[in-house]
Chains A and B, each alone.
Chain A
Amino acid sequence: MKFAIQTIAISLTALILELFLPWYGIALAAFTFGYSLKSNANFLAGFIGITLTWGFQILRLDLQAATELTQSVASIVGLKEKYQLIVITLLLGGLIGGMAALTGSLLNQERKYSH
């Protein structure tokens, strides 16, 4: 339960922060709830949280796209298929989210330990 709440909190906060901050705002969202809503799978919560947010946005944009620019970009960066680009995008976002959430949770432990 705590894991689910943490994941959703990261996902929604990232969505909001993306409107105001550069792309690495997602790290701030994951870090915050890695720290404050610490679960027993913080990396996974950050990973899934950001993947959800980014996946939702990609779906929204790509399904309505007028051209095959996604496929063209995939080719430009040396990939064959468009879905490979989507997977790599989600992995990158997930990795940053996961690492930031993990870092947050470790700070929480660190503070508990030192008090």
Chain B
Amino acid sequence: MKVVKFLLSLLITVTLIYLLDNRWVVNGNPVPPLGKFLDPFHGFWRNLERNQNRAPLDEFTVPGLKGKVTIILDSLAIPHLFAENDEDLYFAQGYVTAMHRLWQMELQTHAAAGRVSEIVGPVGLNNDRYMRRLGMGFGAEQALQLMQSNPTARMIVEQYTNGINAYIATLNDQNLPFEYKLLDYKPERWTPLKCALVLMNMSRLLNMGDKDIEMTNALKLFGKDAIALLYPDHEMEEDPVVDKPGGWNFDPIKLDTVPLAVPDELIALHKMPGSDPDNGSNNWAVAGSKTKTGSPILCGDPHLTLSLPSIWYVLQMNAPGVNTMGASLPGAPGIVIGFTDSVAWSITNAQRDLVDWFKIKYFDDKREKYFLDDGWVHTRKVVERFVVRGQQDVYDTIVYTHWGPVTYDRNFHGENNLNDYSFRWTAHHVGEELMTLYKLNRARNHADYMEALDHFASPGQNFVFASVSGDVAMRVQAKYPVRRKNEGKFVLDGTKSSEGWQAFIPNAHNVMDKNPARGFVSSANQYPADSSYPYYITAPEYETYRNRRINQVLRESGDITVEDMMKLQNDNYNLKAAESVPVFLSYLDSTLFNAEERDAYTILKSWNYFNDVESMGASYYEAWLNNLEPLVWDEMESEKLDLARPTIYNTIKLIKEKPDLIFFDLQQTAEKETAKDIVQKAFSLAVEDIADWKAEHPNTEPGWADFKDSYIGHLLRLQPLSVHVRAPGNSDIVNALSKTHGPSWRMVVSLEKTGLKAWGVYPGGQSGNPGSRFYSNLIDRWTKGQYYQFSFLHKPEDLKSSTSLVFIPAEQ
């Protein structure tokens, strides 16, 4: 009897420990290993950081260093690295970045490599397969090869990698970052390939917008004239990035114009998402002639999906020959947007059509050969292995042709009509982006900046520049293919190599400008050049509002101060509304109004077109547009096909100028509607939406910030770790903060001869640990449009009352 009791008790105890030591999936919901996770000595409790400063001096031995590295952590936990040589500098950058952001770096590179299902199980598989089928790893491998063939680039990635791995070596069950404990896994060793994946991921986020398949369908359904009307190559030539008619002094590359076959097909396929058009940015630099101090001021704010841990990690890097500070991307060595003692730079996305789809003609069902030019050519089949948590491995065969991977086929999104298209993307054809950063981080003048940019291929960016010596400049840089007119707008014939890119625009022919007469340079993702630029340019879409507002303000301003520039970065003027609300209101028939509609009309009529926090006009306008676009473009909604809506700029233009256009007719109704009817209908629906919102939010006015409800989401989409903010702005507004996207970093640099000064802020904090006071501490000032002035040090002693970490090399 006693034996039975003992054995039973033992069994229960051991079973309990086993259950609580492992992760389970209950009804599809993951449950962390509760014993491990809740144990106050090893579990998440250990990630609760104390609300007090670290010891003022912390010395420790770090294997892998050549000399001593001093790291000053300032009051915002921004590290200022002081190293004796470049090798140690990149090692230290890897170490401190991992110290604050390891989990995020690893998750983002896993995502880019299509390996998230290793962590989260089958729910990650579809996206993982998509990443592999886009050739993310394929591109990263090629970038890595190029890095390793350049001794400097090789040193940078290897030392950065060593630094990250030195930090990983210090981890144990207690100090493991929070999310590893929650998801129950451990970090793996960092590799240089992961650095290449971080850069590939930026190309995907920024330079993978495309609508070739959608346009092909539109061509078949609506015809050539409709295409020209709905999807013009660019919507207006006002205010391009560089406006210097007749100023393009070079002989452009001319291609023998082979007439491109216009496709005649409907492609039944639902594509996975490409780059989000809300991933845009602003940047500008004003010359000393327009500023109060007489020195240039440079500004930049990149717009991305806002997330926590923050997208950017700020640091200063100092070693003999280099002193630079600014925002870095966790996982990529160097400063991406920032300044040195002598210059500053920032970037905005310079999208173009960089994606093509080539229709493949296979020899037979085996897909081993395809037709190219005058014969059958072998495909390359790559078998991708997916490790899926809690499940057997999954294998996927991806066919590569001369053009690139065949993304969608019978194995992936087989709902298509099994026409195979090979995906060609400039990001598969690599550059030396790390060398660009290496040289920019050491730049002293305009010539250094130009040389640094020559290495840069992808993602295409507008690089704004200013120097203490007084220059301001802009350069649109990427490896852009030379396009024939209309090339790449539709799917292409993959059996002829003449359909592909024949040449790339030489760097010297790229769009650029230096010290223009107007006294400033600026970019906001708009069309890059005036109409005299000799190369054909097309893109899925170009921005048309932020650029004009920025340029208008800069043109009208003189004696500009740093505060003026901060104000402009946070400008909430809604140019789109100013150009559309008067016309929309004039289309309304007020005799049809109910009481609520009459109120809404009054609110909109008296609105000043600023998307301020309390503005109700902004809420009504947004609700109006949200109802208007689906009504106007009901022709673009199809269960079987992908079609693209024209841009909002063009939509408004057509409503104003062609109110009788056939597209305004609703397909579902027997009557024949015009733009006026649609505008009225959308207005009524918008007023109903606002009424619904009011019912859900009793005692709250539908002010803009509450109606919009912007939030900064945790990467795991965990609500309790996300932050909601009451903030102004919206997309198409200079302060481009929409519900989920916005300025992920704001920087203003005054390049004064007596010493460069810099300010910045971003929605988050330096630490990726939700248990740290540096996780989200910058959000408050960011929401209010306020900034922190950075301490840009020349030696470690320059900053009093801070924390120092000193790394001492281990004895060899």
Cβ–Cβ contact B2 & A113, under 8 A: yes
Q: Across the interface, which residues of A come within 8 angstroms of B770, CB to CB?
A: 67, 69, 72
Task: Give the distance in Å from the alpha carbon of A72 to the alpha carbon of B718 in the complex.
Answer: 9
Q: Across the interface, which residues of A come within 8 angstroms of B45, CB to CB?
A: 57-58, 61-62, 70
Q: Across the interface, which residues of A come within 8 angstroms of B16, CB to CB?
A: 95-96, 99
Q: Across the interface, which residues of A come within 8 angstroms of B38, CB to CB?
A: 85, 88-89, 92-93
Q: Across the interface, which residues of B come within 8 angstroms of A100, CB to CB?
A: 13
Q: Across the interface, which residues of A come within 8 angstroms of B721, CB to CB?
A: 72, 76
Out of B3, B32, B178, which one reaches A69, CB within 8 Å? B178
Cβ < 8 Å to B, chain A residues 45-89: 54, 57-58, 61-62, 64-67, 69-73, 75-77, 85, 88-89
Query: What is the minimal beta-carbon distance from A53 to any residue of chain B, in angstroms?
Result: 8
Q: Across the interface, which residues of A come within 8 angstroms of B417, CB to CB?
A: none
Q: Which residue of A lies closest to B46 (CB)?
A: A61
Cβ–Cβ contact A23 & B771, under 8 A: no
Query: What is the minimal beta-carbon distance from A92 to any residue of chain B, in angstroms?
Result: 6
Query: Known: A66-B773, A67-B770, A99-B12. Is A93-B39 also a contact (CB below 8 A)?
Result: yes
Q: Count A interface residues, CB 8 Å.
A: 40
Cβ–Cβ contact B41 & A57, under 8 A: yes
Cβ < 8 Å to B, chain A residues 97-115: 99-100, 102-103, 106-107, 109-110, 113
Task: Give the distance in Å from the alpha carbon of A71 to the alpha carbon of B771 in the complex.
Answer: 11
Cβ–Cβ contact B36 & A66, under 8 A: no
Q: Does chain A have a CB within 8 A of B506?
A: no
Q: Across the interface, which residues of B come within 8 angstroms of A113, CB to CB?
A: 2
Query: What is the minimal beta-carbon distance from A11 to any residue of chain B, in angstroms?
Result: 13
Task: Give the distance in Å from the alpha carbon of A100 to the alpha carbon of B20 in the complex.
Answer: 14
The DSSP consensus for interface residues of chain B is: helix
Q: Across the interface, which residues of A come within 8 angstroms of B6, CB to CB?
A: 103, 106-107, 109-110
Cβ < 8 Å to A, chain B residues 29-49: 32, 34-36, 38-49
Best-buried of B13, B21, B39, B771 by chain A (most CB within 10 Å): B13
Cβ–Cβ contact A65 & B771, under 8 A: yes
**How would residues 49 to 85 of chain B score, 1 for a CB under 8 Å from any chain A CB and 0 otherwise?**
1111000000000000000000000000000000000
Q: Across the interface, which residues of A come within 8 angstroms of B21, CB to CB?
A: 22-24
Cβ–Cβ contact B35 & A66, under 8 A: no
Best-buried of A77, A88, A93, A103 by chain B (most CB within 10 Å): A103
Query: Known: A75-B720, A100-B13, A103-B13. Is A22-B51 also a contact (CB below 8 A)?
Result: no
Q: Which residue of B lies closest to A88 (CB)?
A: B38
Q: Across the interface, which residues of A come within 8 angstroms of B561, CB to CB?
A: none
Cβ–Cβ contact A109 & B2, under 8 A: yes
Q: Does chain A have a CB within 8 A of B510?
A: no
Out of B3, B43, B50, which one reaches A23, CB within 8 Å? B43
Cβ–Cβ contact B48 & A96, under 8 A: no
Task: Give the distance in Å from the alpha carbon of A73 to the alpha carbon of B720 in the complex.
Answer: 8
Cβ–Cβ contact B35 & A103, under 8 A: no
Q: Which residue of A lies closest to B51 (CB)?
A: A66
Cβ–Cβ contact A96 & B10, under 8 A: no
Q: Does chain A have a CB within 8 A of B772?
A: yes
Out of B9, B36, B44, B173, which one reaches A73, CB within 8 Å? B44
Cβ < 8 Å to B, chain A residues 12-42: 18-19, 22-24, 27, 31
Cβ–Cβ contact A64 & B40, under 8 A: no
Q: Which residue of A lies closest to B17 (CB)?
A: A24
Q: Which residue of B lies closest to A75 (CB)?
A: B720
Q: Which residue of A lies closest to B20 (CB)?
A: A92
Cβ–Cβ contact B48 & A69, under 8 A: yes
Cβ–Cβ contact B9 & A96, under 8 A: no
Query: What is the minimal beta-carbon distance from B734 to any residue of chain A, in angstroms?
Result: 32
Cβ–Cβ contact A24 & B41, under 8 A: no
Q: Does chain A have a CB within 8 A of B719?
A: yes
Cβ–Cβ contact A99 & B13, under 8 A: yes
Q: Does chain A have a CB within 8 A of B5?
A: yes
Q: Which residue of A lies closest to B173 (CB)?
A: A22
Cβ–Cβ contact B13 & A22, under 8 A: no
Task: Give the distance in Å from the alpha carbon of A69 to the alpha carbon of B776 in the complex.
Answer: 12
Q: Does chain A have a CB within 8 A of B312?
A: no
Task: Give the distance in Å from the alpha carbon of A37 to the alpha carbon of B471 in the complex.
Answer: 82
Query: What is the minimal beta-carbon distance from B10 to any residue of chain A, in angstroms?
Result: 5
Cβ–Cβ contact A72 & B773, under 8 A: no
Query: Known: A66-B48, A73-B44. Is A110-B2 also a contact (CB below 8 A)?
Result: yes
Query: Known: A27-B13, A103-B10. Is A57-B35 also a contact (CB below 8 A)?
Result: no
Q: Does chain A have a CB within 8 A of B403?
A: no
Q: Which residue of A lies closest to B35 (CB)?
A: A23
Task: Give the distance in Å from the alpha carbon of A54 to the alpha carbon of B39 in the complex.
Answer: 7
Task: Give the distance in Å from the alpha carbon of A89 to the alpha carbon of B41 in the complex.
Answer: 12
Q: Across the interface, which residues of B come within 8 angstroms of A58, CB to CB?
A: 40, 45
Task: Give the distance in Å from the alpha carbon of A54 to the alpha carbon of B42 in the complex.
Answer: 11
Query: Known: A106-B9, A109-B2. Is A67-B775 also a contact (CB below 8 A)?
Result: yes
Out of A67, A76, A77, A102, which one reaches B773, CB within 8 Å? A67
Q: Does chain A have a CB within 8 A of B387?
A: no
Cβ–Cβ contact A99 & B9, under 8 A: yes
Query: What is the minimal beta-carbon distance from A64 to any residue of chain B, in angstroms?
Result: 5
| Minimum-distance CB pairs A-B, first 5 | A23-B39, A66-B773, A75-B720, A57-B40, A66-B51
Residues of B within 8 A of A (CB): 2-3, 5-6, 9-10, 12-13, 16-17, 20-21, 32, 34-36, 38-52, 173, 178, 182, 718-721, 770-773, 775
Taking A92-B20, A99-B16 as known contacts, 10 extra A-B pairs with beta carbons closer than 8 A to each other, sorted by chain A number, are A31-B13, A54-B40, A61-B45, A65-B771, A67-B770, A67-B771, A69-B771, A89-B40, A107-B6, A110-B2
- 18 A-B pairs with CB atoms under 8 Å apart are A23-B36, A23-B43, A31-B13, A57-B40, A57-B41, A61-B46, A62-B45, A62-B48, A65-B771, A66-B50, A66-B51, A66-B772, A69-B48, A92-B20, A93-B38, A93-B39, A106-B10, A109-B6
